[in-house]
Structure 1
């Protein structure tokens, strides 16, 4: 590690600590402990361009441990994303600032997903990895790998404790998502103390059982070890990878390092001064960045721009050689084209006989999927009951990345996070499905759909007491009120074919609002 690398890493630490101290609240432990991981990843391994943050072939980075947001904000500032300024860092956790307490998608340039509920980012990363593999299968040609990148996600012990992570990574291993690289910030500390209080499992063995390659980094501050681990992860073309980085929470602060108190409170003036002195900074300077550090990040960006320029050249050649694929690419990324479904007479035509709205929905969904090739999705092991199988496509699997039918297994909360990740990736229109009563499992990630303003579609069947024989455990009653109470979340409970068709047309053409269709098992008359 060069002196400039070390100075740059410590600048990330000090900026993070300064912002948290000024805000009088926040989480310094993760930024201090993981600064080297973030630096190495963004510098040596991620293809990204701050001048084009929506570049289709960029590597994605999700901070699943969203409480450590100052790590991400410091990196975004130093790289020049969205002109995020020092003044913005000084407004950390303030109302209306570009640096809220947890990263918010669509609010701060460079943030790939809204995170905060631990484990959510893990599920969304799996969704992005699925989307990457599908888009690569659809668009790549020999000599033209225009979709050729990785999904990185960073989380800690809390993320690993959450059940959503096990659900999502179990599926990721089954699907062999080799472009997914998970960093585990293993510092053995949680808010209440040592993780031994409640978390003694062997995480490495768990992930091996999921079907992951597991790589251990003994020192999360050693750039060479991190570099070697990422290279090893990329070399495995059959499995996703877990990189376990042994870190020290609150690294660099003598009185806080390795303690629970480093997790979720400012260091305090005295400890902040000791941190700066320990890392070779002036304790009387705040939010200071050496010019040579800024220059270092500018030099890194120039190297990244060269990779970006090469891709742009490749993509231009691809479009010229394959005009039909260029047309398809534009269609996949055109969110306005779905509006024409409102003028489709066939879509709204029906047979005048009683029919369950779940059956109607299945017919309508298949009409949509035949018309728009980027519609895809699946169910939590209930596709035959939810009527969500697409007859025009095969199943997505490890051996068939082009399939549009997804088998999420009995994993409702992970399914929804994965759906969010697929929508965040871009170019795809995803749906997820389960019984309406199990929307209780879906709700936390549906709430994130609404907060992020991403138009994921939810198909909920077996509405109300109409499910009868299954009894009260399967009779959704209060769930309708719950979903309708979510701000920015649209709920349709259609009564016949026409209302179901309008609901699907609204859902598929929505640009920034998630939509739920609540559907019956029993037949209803056409009104």
Structure 2
């Protein structure tokens, strides 16, 4: 047996041994796709001794249910996973969880599993590579690498992948190479049940290079396909690799091979098929170990060549090199956030407008910004005015035109952040955060810190009516662990929101911004960064408290202006407030004051904790209505008069 085949079969059988021991997992993909993954890993640019090397090729297992395949590769290539780690596959606290997790297992570039997200994040990685290359490459290329993806039919059925792939074709991301594990089987059976399209024709229409590998076990054919893909620097490439799910097992070609362990008898039969010892689990032949050591030497040799180039660059372009390294280390210079001028605004503004000004103040000082909007930049005020648009012919541009693709935008922003070297943001209307929830959840899960700008934050949208008026979206975003939701009350608080967003290292920040103009508050404070603070202090003994967010804060202040026993708290972020010390929280919101009124023009869900049983929540627990914004606020009782009345009743 040729050594390459022996290596591939070792990967296959290590994978099914993991799954069998756990009695849980997906053997079908590792058995079928191992040759393709091995061929990529053998030829791609990476170094297990420097897994965060900035110019490494990126590899994304978009079909994350095939994680045993990735763990087998990481073990054999020396990324620190031991045989004992493989034996703990899918066990609590192990280094080999059910789906690949970024920050958890060395060598995993992003958390995948929700289908379509991986390939879409890979588009973001490829965009980051193209943009950084345009900025830093000179006569010496310091940023020059490919992004590889292994995906399956499920990834390509999910709509998000088409959104992202469409943008990739438009942007001519020639260093993005997708290997499509085309086995024509999903959980319910043949793909003919629900997926009869010609995938390569679709991708050709999207502007991709399309290549077919007829035999997914043929290494020479795979190598030639990858070579062709790399030669075309203009078009992203999709290689349809025709495989058989569960190859070599008794369940080959069957839907049952997808997501169930093979069983002891099935594992024995599979090992027989590949001429491996039937009585040895987690077996790696000595010649395979030795061959992988040789592969790693070759990888190290190429790495050292690249590092020599990097050294020459660092000496010739010292300032640029230092800037690049600092960017990848997220060693940002954010001193401008301490300047008084950053928080000054001359007039009353909608918070979407004041946020737009703050964003541009950031962009003028912060060189590593890279983001944009889902075709709503004029409404979101999310355009960097002193920057150009990123495009196929202008990759140095910083403004990204995502098009009307919120699903993909969220995942692409994540991919840019995961690539490293850049801070990214995406913008749309708050009501469309529904489209982005899976990507925001993955931001939080991966502990990365993009900025999500959500404008048109309430019934203040007005004439567009209930389809565009967010009600439950704030509660949805607040329910995501490790996610900061920040809804400012005025221009000053909006600028503080940008300080929070730029300072965050491991938590996404969602800025929730108004369409309508809001008055600047005389008592706005940097304490907004603590999530809640006093904007109107009681003049006499404290008896009642109003808690409000966003546009409702000025309404609350107006309602309580003549009440000497009432305190008004602006609470732009519950998450930030809950992270403060007990003493601070008690100082702002004393536990003994139970007569509380919460005011927010959205669902009451989640607010009763703060209102207490003796308090009340003024909210909207139904869909909005169509009409002028001021009339809609009156219709739903979000007025100073109604707040004052409710205050008197508690």
Shorter-chain TM-score: which interval?
A: over 0.9
Aligned to 1:421: 415
Q: Distance in 2 between matches of 1:440 and 1:159?
A: 20
2:133 counterpart of 1:136: yes
2:464 counterpart of 1:470: yes
**CA deviation string 1:438-486 (max 9, x = no partner):** 0000111110000001101000000110000000000001000000000
Aligned to 2:85: 88
Q: Distance in 1 between matches of 2:513 and 2:428?
A: 11
Aligned to 1:60: 58
Alignment of 1:122-521 (within 5 A): 122-142=119-139, 144-253=140-249, 255-351=250-346, 353-521=347-515
Q: Distance in 1 between matches of 2:237 and 2:322?
A: 35
Q: Distance in 2 between matches of 1:454 and 1:224?
A: 39
Aligned to 2:22: 23
Q: Distance in 2 between matches of 1:400 and 1:328?
A: 21
Q: Distance in 2 between matches of 1:315 and 1:10?
A: 37
Helix, strand or coil for the counterpart of 2:239? Answer: strand
- Deviation for aligned residue 1:238: 1.4
**CA deviation string 1:110-152 (max 9, x = no partner):** 000000000100100100000000010011111x111111000
Larger Rg: 2
Aligned to 2:44: 46
Helix, strand or coil for the counterpart of 1:62? Answer: strand
**CA deviation string 1:276-331 (max 9, x = no partner):** 01101111111111121111111101101111111111111111111221232134
Structure 2 residue corresponding to 1:76, chosen from 74, 77, 81: 74
Contact 2:336 2:365 (8 Å CA) reproduced: no
Q: Distance in 2 between matches of 1:66 and 1:96?
A: 18
- Deviation for aligned residue 1:350: 2.0
Aligned to 2:3: 4
Helix, strand or coil for the counterpart of 1:173? Answer: helix
- Deviation for aligned residue 1:6: 0.9
Q: Distance in 1 between matches of 2:142 and 2:319?
A: 15
The 3 A distance-change label for structure 1 pair 378 and 273 is: same
Q: Distance in 1 between matches of 2:229 and 2:10?
A: 28
Helix, strand or coil for the counterpart of 1:216? Answer: strand
Helix, strand or coil for the counterpart of 2:442? Answer: helix
Contact 1:381 1:410 (8 Å CA) reproduced: yes
Helix, strand or coil for the counterpart of 1:337? Answer: coil
**CA deviation string 1:386-435 (max 9, x = no partner):** 00010111000000000000000000010110000000000100000000
- Deviation for aligned residue 1:335: 2.2
Contact 1:48 1:59 (8 Å CA) reproduced: yes
**CA deviation string 1:321-377 (max 9, x = no partner):** 1122123213423424344243122212222x3210000000000010110110120
Contact 1:119 1:164 (8 Å CA) reproduced: yes
The 3 A distance-change label for structure 1 pair 8 and 331 is: closer
Choose between structure 1 and 2 for higher RCO, CA contacts under 8 A separated by at least 6 residues: 1
Q: Distance in 1 between matches of 2:362 and 2:325?
A: 18
2:70 counterpart of 1:34: no
Contact 1:341 1:505 (8 Å CA) reproduced: no
- Deviation for aligned residue 1:92: 0.3
Q: Distance in 1 between matches of 2:246 and 2:211?
A: 23
Q: Distance in 2 between matches of 1:236 and 1:211?
A: 12
Q: Distance in 2 between matches of 1:395 and 1:337?
A: 23
Higher helix proportion (structure 1 or 2): 1
Helix, strand or coil for the counterpart of 1:27? Answer: coil
Q: Distance in 1 between matches of 2:170 and 2:269?
A: 47
Structure 2 residue corresponding to 1:526, chosen from 520, 531, 546: 520
- Deviation for aligned residue 1:197: 0.4
Contact 2:460 2:515 (8 Å CA) reproduced: yes
**CA deviation string 1:464-521 (max 9, x = no partner):** 1000000000000100000000000000000012211111111111110000000001
Contact 1:338 1:509 (8 Å CA) reproduced: no
Q: Distance in 2 between matches of 1:98 and 1:359?
A: 45
Helix, strand or coil for the counterpart of 1:363? Answer: helix
Q: Distance in 2 between matches of 1:40 and 1:470?
A: 53
Number of positions where the alignment pairs a residue of Structure 1 with one of Structure 2: 521
Structure 1 residue corresponding to 2:104, chosen from 107, 111, 117: 107
